[in-house]
Amino acid sequence: MTSEDCIIVKAPSSKSLSHRALIAGALSEGTTVVLDPLDSNDINRTMDCLTTMGAQFSIDGTATTVTGMHEGPRGGEKEPAVLEMRDSGTTCRLITALAGAGRGLFRVQGTPRMHDRPIGALTGALESQGVKVTFSDKPGYPPVTLEADGFRGKNMDISLEESSQYLSGLLLAAPLADETTIINVVGRKAVSWPYVALTLNVMEDFRIKFEVQTLHDGKWKKVDWRKVEKVVPGEIRFKVEPSRFDREEYRVEGDWSNGSYFLAAGAVGNKPVKIEGLSTKSLQGDIAIMYILKAMGAKIESDAHSVTVYPSKLHGVEVDMSKCPDLVPTVAVAAAFADSPTTITNVAHLRIKECDRLEASAAEVMRAGGKAEITEDSITIIPAPLKKGERIVFSTYDDHRLAMCTAIFALAGIESVPEEPGCVAKSFPGFWDEWAIITKGNGC
């Protein structure tokens, strides 16, 4: 295959790793140069909150120099330091945990949708560390004011039924505690473990001392966190020693979440698509898109730094996507091109994302001509003739992932028009420029 035979695009930098690297740099003693962090609204939210708490940022091209907080996160003395999350759920959960490990008054607030997204499991864990929590409106939801005087350490419990970001936030904050912290996972189930692995990877890269322990015959034993594939509440815990983040330079890898739209385009379009900047050795959970598309029948080739997907006849699959929920809208749209039904399970936590992504994904597939059925924690896509030749305005729900995934319907011969194209700035401001390369290459 020559370069003329396929469409070539570049994956943006990982949003998840950009959040974590910038936070780690902000918690360091000196300066850290973060190379290739994602430039997006969500990342800007995190940087603004870290600045409010005492960090400094200097941007020079693709390098961001972070000057760490002098004595950890600092809030207000008489009036709360306002941590404005807008609609960034990742920022909200990670930064709220950091504020709890800081000192002073902090107010966590955001958009009306953010105020409908739960945070009570996280603030409950913070209360066990002596943080005074005051909700402004609904208990368990932002806006919330925290009065903090540093983490005590010792034991705290956290449920991951709603989000793994609660644990990631506590892990990033725990090194600031006065003594060793043990974080126990409780509840009925745990979702999105790969995102926790990303957090641990960044902590290791920044020289934080920690252990992951699992229960064996009634005794806790240290395990290699890289080999943990499933989190069983009550049978895993995290031991974090007081330590300081420390790294001179950190490079952010490409984003499998935002690369997923181009991977799907390669499978359902009429020309192969090569996505550069994706590492097949990545710990990102959304690398699962490669294996899901393969299971559906897509022909995929890869090397150390790129992935190429070829036009393929897709078949329906049944797949548990609890570990990679951000891919569900992409897979739902790709499934509408298949020749048999696809069922995606264990994704109830999608209902508390930027929108109810189960309802939204179903609605937009049906708008394009497909059929969809949903339950409390699953969605089934039943292929039907798509509306080739029609102009369809797809609802975007102020949700970047819905805007980007519905663009794929252009490859069915639909004139796909996003209701709010600008909402992609949340995670991928350059998406439409890259997508134009896809549609032009496919003759759309």
Residues annotated as catalytic (active site), given as ranges = 326
Tokens of 19: 């959040």
CA distance 169 to 156: 13
CA distance 191 to 119: 15
DSSP result, 398-433: T-HHHHHHHGGGGGGT-EEEES-GGGGGGT-TTHHH
Query: What is the 3-state composition of the chain as percent helix, strand, coil, each rounded to the nearest 5?
Result: 35, 25, 40
CA distance 349 to 357: 9
Residue 157 CA neighbour count, 13 Å, CB half: 8
Backbone angles phi, psi at 323, to 5 degrees: -85, -10
- Pair 416, 402: CB distance under 8 Å: no
In b/e form, how buried is each residue of 382-409, taking b as 16+ CB within 10 angstroms? bbeebbeeeebebbbbbbbbbbbbbbbb
